[in-house]
Chain A
Amino acid sequence: MLEIEKLSRHFNGRTVLRDVSLQLKPGEYVAIVGESGVGKSTLLNLVAGLDRPDGGRLCLDGEDYGRLDEDALTRLRRDKLGFVFQAFHVLPHLTVGQNVALPLWLQGLDAAAAAAPARQLLDAVGLAERADSWPRELSGGEMQRVAIARALVHRPRLVLADEPTGNLDPANGNKVLHLLATRIREAGAIGILVTHSLEAAATADRVLRLTPEGLCG
């Protein structure tokens, strides 16, 4: 369970988020849409523990992580969060398989132990044959599928996707969005998709709009 309660954030005296609240159950996948500059990325960073709220509460499975120190936040991200970015952030000097295995490496698994789950996830995203390929040999859509596999390989409780199709053509984008939704549901994780695109948002279970006044369904 993810509980967001009256979350607020200010930058240089300007309020970017004010009293944002949200509750999500495991297996629930929501899309957050809104105008540019309304604070979508800020909200995502706060939920991801990459930024600190100025007010409000953030709880994941009952643990208030809004006040954790940096190390604890890092551990939380490592163990319970998964990320899918617009820019893929697939490391070019690791193979596809290694990229997917990376979260497991960070959790302390050695390369051999991490290889099987990574391959399983790659299989799930339809890239089982490309485990030993280099990222430069993949298309944009394939790279984002790799990113999805990487975001789920360590069975996170919360998956955050920030404009995952921003760099993809519509056809590929659509495929990726459906894949992401399917995998999040299968994994029983909580999913948050941040996007400009209503079409993309439609792949989620429900769509929330972020406005200066807060989140509204």
Chain B
Amino acid sequence: MRLAPVFLGSLARRRMATLFSLVAIVLGVALGMAVQAVHEAALSEFGRGLRTLAGQADLQVLGPRGGFDEALYPLLAAAPEVADASPVLEIDARLAGREDSLSIQGVDLFSLARVTPRLLPRAADEGEREGERFAALADDALFLTEGARQALGVKAGEVLHFQAGSGRLALRVAGDLPGLDDGRRLAVMDIAGAQWHFGRLGRLTRIDLRLRDGIAPEAARAVLQARLPAGVVVTLPEAAEDEAANLSRAYRVNLTLLAAIALLTGGFLVFSAQALSVVRRRTEFAFLRAVGLARRTLFGWLLAEGAAVGLAGGVLGVALGHALAWGALAVLGGDLGAGYFSGLSPRLQFQPGVSALYVLLGMLAGLAGAWLPAREAATVSPARALKAGDEASVGGGRGHPRLGLAVLAASLPACLIPPLEGLPLGGYLAVACLLAGGVLLLPALAAGLARLLPRGGPVSARLAAARLSAAPGHAVVAAAGVLTSVALAVAMAIMVASFRDSVDQWLGQILPADLYVRAGRASGSGHLDETLQARIAALPGVGRVDFIRHDTLRLIAGQPPVALIARPVAADGSDLPLVARAGAAGTLPRIWISEALQDLRGWQPGQQVDLPLAGRRVSVAVAGVWRDYARQTGAVMMDLADYRRLTGDRLANDGAVHLGPGARADDVADALASLAGPGALEIARPGEIRAISLRIFDRSFAVTYLLEAVAVVIGLAGVAASFAALAAARRREFGMLRHLGLTRRQIGAMLAREGRRGGRWRARRHAGWWGHRPGADRGGQSPELPLEHGPARALAVPAALRHRAGGPGRRGRRAGRAAGHGAERRAGRAGGLVMQRRRFLFALAGLAAVPASATEFARVLPGRRLAFPADHGAHPDFRTEWWYATGWLKLPDGSPVGFQVTFFRVRTGLGEGNPSTFAPRQLILAHAAIADPRLGRLRHDERSARVGPGHAGFDTGTTRVWLGDWRFELGPKGYHARVQGADFAYQLDLQPDGLPLLQGQAGFSRKAADPRHASYYYSRPQLRVSGQLTLDGTARPVTGQAWLDHEWSSELLPEGAQGWDWIGLNLDDGSGLMAFRLRDAAGKALWSAATIRPAGQIGQVLPPEAVHFTPLRQWHSPRSGIDWPVVWRVQAGGRQLELQPLINDQELDSRRSTGAIYWEGAVRALEGGREVGRGYLEMTGYGKKIRVG
């Protein structure tokens, strides 16, 4: 660093040249960095969104856009590999009367809580209005992300109108999605409502699967895939993220390469500045060499000068790039106008690795630019250089023509390199070869050109020609790279403009009708049903209507879906923009595939292929290949009649209306508009669609234009800088010329001539190479050279009519609706979202605190005689019902544990008229617990689900209720309970001893003086228990005694009831005692009841006044802060029992399902200080008022 002042100090002295070089590198790095940063932010946000949506899903089942049969859901949910399955119906719902749409995820909230908990909704009025406990399940309830709420300008309680079919649908904003706070526009509603209201009954678009522990996703994927019909694929969630990244990758790479042109220009500017600096400092270097500076040291330091400029440019460029990215995100969005990531609000993040890479790129540009001049300076003989007038020998050579020719020739084989993972790297290499070869050849070409110049003319022309001829390197090398970059940028602009023209022509070909009518986007919520189609066709003035149906096909798992377009097609496909066709037609249904699909799948005209249609494989013949600028991932066109015959789907998305003779388009458009509700149908003329498409095209290419403009500006500035520096370097020459009598103007003219001759012809030549010839399109040959087989098409894709046909952006979103990274899934499983899940389930809770809807619940009336075995079964007409088994178990070592298993059935009052199989009319909730004295607290787990397809249900004729692999059922030998909890499991047989014990008046159990508050209630005391209990992975045989309650009601608790205390005791003498009391907020008994059944006798009902509960000792829960009276004196008839808990801490937090915290524990019954029995004590309402119907 001792010599740093000698060299780096020189940079400061050459301020302008250094500044130009620096600015060029700064801009080059900044543009590249900005493109990269914006896309990284968008992809990261997109990926984060996917992971959020995928939650803890290990696998996802995806089908065509139209969805697949919901019967796959129970099939998959019951698969042994699957722990949880979450069905989803995603709808791109068009907002009525508006252009935009909202992605609505129709979900099953119960399975959502286990698979994708971040999507759980939060009711807006939670905790405020007791009547709205089931808000999330209401079929018109919509929950919006904050981003959607802000974008739509609505608040909770307001109504949003959507288009469903050709009609309008009103959905109520019922709350938000607190887990999605990243600005995305998304909504969640109950799957039953989504299926019903959007006409998608029986259909799902996705099933998220969480696998059982220890099951490898890849292995399970193969097993599950084998069970699925054609066109439905099982994918790893990560695949969707890759899919999205791949879709936008080509666009990103092209923008990055455009930025690279700017960087390249910067490199050339460094080259130019350094080359001229070497000329100017030639005697300085010679002196330094003379006084002992080694050649290598000089070379190294000159490289360091370039590297310093590059490094400074890189650092500043990265900073500016981040600023540009910030601005671009704000103005253009995360897709830079290309439409890949609509609806996202990416946030810019500093990425040290990428930033360092761009700093390095800047430095490399500086190094590369300084290389040749440094080499030249180091090789100059000091003795010669110390002689004045030797400057012309620098850069005065003929370049490297042989090397230039070799590099140019290398561009040809580079063109033939096939795309690598879809990227035309060979094309880029060919571009680089052309540029480098051109630059290497330029001095020789310029010298040759100079010889052809006329020798006459004005003095400035003669001097310029002589100069060019004698020292072509000076004039050419300085500006060569800069001009080449400008030429390339200009050529790119020409290519894009030509391509736009091609798209315009193509639009003209694919839009032959007079009017187009649409009920919504291809993937959206609108469609034209058969009735509406008939009405459109019958309108006066309508000559013919070609209806079009859009769907997608899942050809390969992990790859984006392929568009399916069904419309009337001429037998020979002549109405399509064909580029290839098959020969003779066979008997198979015919399809025409897009070029992209041909490239992707290798299908050829005439080939017979299988398509997954309507869940089966259908053999079709490829009748031709058509040009499609719209769909990057491929498209299949088939005749509408074939499609309808093969699928039975008779809906349509669009209609192409051909007018009858003499009809006026305006009249027909008016008539069409009045067919459905206001705004339900979009009606457009071809010209409007074309204008919209081209507008989208321009928006897609906006950043391309911008980058080109910057490259051109840098290039032009570079030209100016180069010639300014050159002029400075030749000041002695100019001084001499001025002394000889040349005017300033003549010297300027001479410089201009040198510059023009050096550069003009090159710009022309490059434009010719890269320009796009629109006419060539029609012949079906690729008109562009190396870029065509990659970048040109990739550049085209974002432009292409996404608006009309559902472009890759939407598909990317669709494909990616779910994906996930293991880390996040694991984090989710670790319980980070428990609180949120609780919030939702708390909203669901309250069991029977259902809105006072029009639903008629069955009433509990005195005098009804319970009939068995029928009354062992469920009573779905009543609001609430439970089967509640509690008891004591003895482990092999004699130590006791308590157990509890409860199945609740809840009729919600919702979805009574909804034909969806997911309609949430009945819910099943289950609790299970083990009171483990060694642990000192309860082991507890719970489940909840709607009754419907999947794995929850009940029987009405006998006790049989199940939820996944949890079940409680009555068989010939008694009851059987099976529970698989998080840290415990049991399978117990409970054998009754005697007939059911009818509580209250023959099973009519009053809860208040008002007989409306009552239940049907019977118990099974003294159940003999045997079975197996698994704790911490160790299974042990157990025996014991238990108590079962079966109770159902529609209006249980009276007004003012805060909670209850209940006991069910199996006494050692064979008798059973049930007692309860309802308390008010002050702790005063509102109602009491008890039944005692001595062994072998019938039950004896005690009057309320004969039952007394007296608390003796309290235990303070450290978790809930509730003081529980855990020791009691209970008087029932003539008996006075003291209840002592097995352990104090038997508090059960079930806010996740029932919404309550209660104490449900094993107790010993003592009489006169001696244990006389065991049973269970239940206490509710000590923390918060209990809510039960």
Given A50-B386, A89-B287, A150-B291, 4 more A-B residue pairs with CB atoms under 8 Å apart are A48-B383, A74-B293, A87-B388, A111-B2
Bound together, the chains give a CA A156 to CA B2 distance in angstroms of 20
User: Which residues in A have their C-beta under 8 angstroms from that of B382?
Assistant: 50
Task: Decide yes or no whether B13 CB sits under 8 A from chain A.
Answer: yes
Known contacts A50-B382, A50-B383, A110-B2; decide if A93 and B292 are in contact (CB<8 Å). no
Check B12 for interface membership: any CB of A closer than 8 A: yes
Residue among A78, A79, A85, A106 with the highest chain B CB neighbour number at 10 A: A106
Complex Cα–Cα for A45 and B9 (A): 29
Within 96-154 of A, Cβ neighbours of B (below 8 Å) are at: 98, 102-103, 105-111, 150
| Chain B 1-47 residues near chain A, CB threshold 8 A | 2-3, 5-6, 9-10, 12-13
Write the B282-303 contact mask toward A (1 if CB under 8 angstroms, else 0): 0110010111111100000000
Task: Report chain B residues within 8 Å CB of A108.
Answer: 2
Q: List 14 A-B contacts (CB under 8 A).
A: A71-B294, A74-B294, A78-B293, A81-B291, A82-B291, A89-B287, A91-B6, A93-B5, A93-B9, A93-B13, A94-B5, A94-B6, A105-B6, A107-B292
B residues near A82, Cβ cutoff 8 Å: 291
A110 vs B293: C-alpha distance when bound (angstroms) = 15
Answer yes or no: A70 CB below 8 A from chain B CBs: yes
Residues in A with CB closer than 8 Å to B388 are 87
Report, nearest first, the 10 A-B pairs whose CB atoms are least far apart.
A78-B292, A89-B287, A93-B9, A50-B383, A45-B383, A105-B2, A77-B292, A93-B13, A106-B292, A74-B294
Across the interface, do B294 and A105 meet the contact criterion of CB distance under 8 Å?
A: no
**B294 partner residues in chain A, CB cutoff 8 A:** 71, 74
Complex contacts, A75 vs chain B, CB 8 Å = 292
Q: How far is the CA of A92 from the CA of B3 in the complex (A)?
A: 14
Contact of A93 among B3, B10, B295, B383 (CB under 8 A): B10
Task: Map CB proximity to B onto A64-75 as digits: 1 under 8 Å, 0 otherwise.
Answer: 000000110011
* B13 adjacent to A92 (CB under 8 Å): yes
Q: Quick check: A70 and B295 within 8 Å, CB to CB? A: yes
Question: Which residue of chain A lies nearest to B296 when distances are taken between CB atoms in the complex?
Answer: A71
CB distance from A160 to the nearest CB of B (A): 9
A94 to B5, CA, bound (A): 7
A205 an interface residue at 8 Å Cβ cutoff?
no
Asked if B292 and A94 sit within 8 Å, CB to CB, the answer is no
Assess whether A48 is in contact with B2, with CB atoms less than 8 Å apart: no
Q: Does A199 contact B (CB under 8 A)?
A: no
Kindly report which residue of chain A lies nearest to residue B298, judged by CB atoms: A74
> Nearest chain-B residue to A104 (Cβ)?
B2
Chain A residues in 8 Å Cβ range of B287: 83, 85, 89
Decide yes or no whether A63 CB sits under 8 A from chain B.
Answer: no
For A35, the chain B residues whose CB sits under 8 A away are: none
Is B12 in contact with A93, judged by CB distance below 8 angstroms?
yes
> In the bound complex, do residue A102 and residue B291 qualify as a contact, i.e. CB atoms below 8 Å apart?
yes
Q: Is the CB of B291 within 8 A of A77?
A: yes
Residue on B nearest A45 in the bound complex, by CB: B383
Q: A109 contacts which chain B residues (CB < 8 A)?
A: 2
Among B6, B10, B292, B386, which residue has the most Cβ atoms of chain A within 10 A? B292
In the assembly, what is the distance between CA of A98 and CA of B381, in Å? 25
Chain A residue at minimal CB-CB distance from B9: A93
Provide the residues of chain A in CB contact with B290, threshold 8 Å: 48, 50, 77, 83
Taking the closest CB of chain B, its distance from the CB of A196, in whole angstroms, is 16
| Residues in chain A near residue B3, CB distance under 8 A | 105-106
A83 lies within 8 A of B5 (CB): no
Least Cβ–Cβ distance between A117 and chain B, in angstroms: 14
**Do A78 and B291 touch across chains, with their CB atoms under 8 A apart?**
yes
Closest B residue by C-beta to A92: B13
Kindly identify, within residues 277 to 323 of chain B, every residue whose CB is under 8 Å from any CB belonging to chain A. 283-284, 287, 289-295
> How distant is A130 from chain B, measured CB to nearest CB, in Å?
17
CA distance A50 to B287 in the complex (A): 10
A103 and B292 within 8 A (CB): yes
Closest to A162 in B: B386
Inter-chain CA distance A70–B293, complex, in Å, is 11
Inter-chain contact B295/A102, CB cutoff 8 Å: no
A20 to B971: give the CA distance in the assembly, Å.
Answer: 127
Q: With A and B bound together, what is the CA distance between A103 and B3 in angstroms?
A: 10
B-side contacts of A102, CB under 8 Å: 6, 291
A115 to chain B, nearest CB (A): 12
Per-residue CB proximity of B373-408 to A under 8 Å, as 1/0?
A: 000000001110011100000000000000000000
Given A92-B13, A94-B5, A109-B2, answer yes or no on A74-B289 (Cβ-Cβ < 8 Å). Answer: yes
B1084 to chain A, nearest CB (A): 94
C-alpha spacing A102/B289, complex, angstroms:
12
Closest to A107 in B: B292
Contact A103/B383 with A91-B6, A91-B284, A93-B12 known, Cβ cut-off 8 Å = no
Specify which of B5, B283, B284 is in contact with A98 (CB 8 Å cutoff): B5
Residue of A nearest to B287 (CB): A89
Contact between B386 and A85, CB atoms less than 8 A apart: yes
What CA separation (Å) do A50 and B387 show in the bound complex?
12
Q: Please indicate the chain A residues that have their CB under 8 angstroms from the CB of B295 in the complex.
A: 70, 74
If the complex has contacts A92-B13, A94-B6, A98-B5, are A106 and B283 also in contact, measured as CB distance less than 8 A? Answer: no
Most central of A50, A51, A75 by chain B CB within 10 Å: A50
CA of A41 to CA of B387, assembled, Å: 10
Q: A48 to B460, alpha carbons, bound, how many Å?
A: 42
Min CB distance B304 to A, Å, is: 15
Q: How far is the CA of A109 from the CA of B2 in the complex (A)?
A: 8
Complex-state Cα separation, A45 to B2, whole angstroms: 27
A70 to B10, CA, bound (A): 26
B291, A103: Cβ atoms closer than 8 Å: yes
Cα distance, A203 to B686, chains bound together (Å): 98
Q: Is A79's CB under 8 angstroms from B383's CB?
A: no
Contact digits for A10-53, partner B, Cβ 8 Å, 1 yes 0 no: 00000000000000000000000000000001000100101100
Residues in A neighbouring B9, C-beta threshold 8 A: 93-94
Give A70's nearest chain B residue, CB to CB: B295
Which residues, 327 to 347 on B, are CB-close (under 8 Å) to A?
none
Report chain B residues within 8 Å CB of A85: 287, 386
Residue numbers in B under 8 Å from A41 (CB-CB): 387
Rounded to whole angstroms, the CA-CA distance of A50 and B6 in the bound complex is 21
Taking CB atoms, residues of chain B closer than 8 Å to A89 are 283-284, 287
Are B283 and A87 in touch, CB under 8 angstroms?
A: yes
Q: Which residue of B lies closest to A79 (CB)?
A: B292
| Contact yes or no, A83 B2, CB < 8 A | no
What separation, in Å, do the CA atoms of A71 and B289 have in the docked complex? 11
Residue A106 contacts which of B13, B291, B383 (CB distance < 8 angstroms)? Answer: B291
Task: Write the chain B residue with the least CB distance to A82.
Answer: B291
A55 to chain B, nearest CB (A): 18
For the complex, what is the distance from the CA of A64 to the CA of B293, rounded to whole Å? 21
The complex places the Cα of A131 from the Cα of B13 at a distance, in Å, of 19
> Within the complex, what minimum Cβ distance (angstroms) separates A48 from chain B?
7
User: Smallest distance from the beta carbon of A100 to chain B beta carbons, Å?
Assistant: 12
Q: Whole-angstrom distance between the alpha carbons of A82 and B290 in the complex?
A: 9
Q: Which B residue sits closest to A87, measured CB to CB?
A: B283
Query: How far apart are the CA atoms of A17 and B383 in the complex, in Å?
Result: 16
In the bound complex, do residue B386 and residue A106 qualify as a contact, i.e. CB atoms below 8 Å apart? no
A106: chain B residues at CB < 8 Å are 3, 291-293
Closest to A98 in B: B5
Interface residues of B in 78-97 (CB under 8 A from A): none
C-alpha gap A110/B387 in the complex (Å): 31
Bound-state CA distance A102–B13 (Å) is 18
Q: How close is A148's CB to chain B, nearest CB, in angstroms? A: 13
A41 vs B384: C-alpha distance when bound (angstroms): 11
Closest chain-B Cβ to A216's Cβ sits at a distance in Å of: 25
Which chain B residues border A93 with CB–CB below 8 Å?
A: 5-6, 9-10, 12-13
B-side contacts of A45, CB under 8 Å? 383
| Complex Cα–Cα for A85 and B3 (A) | 21
A24 to chain B, nearest CB (A): 20
Chain A hits for B381, CB < 8 A: 50-51
The distance in angstroms between the C-alpha atoms of A75 and B283, with both chains bound, is 20
Q: In this complex, what residue of A is CB-closest to B13? A: A93
Pick the most buried of B382, B386, B388: most chain A CB atoms within 10 A of its CB. Answer: B386
Q: How far is the CA of A77 from the CA of B287 in the complex (A)?
A: 11
User: Bound complex: CA of A85 vs CA of B382, how far in Å?
Assistant: 13
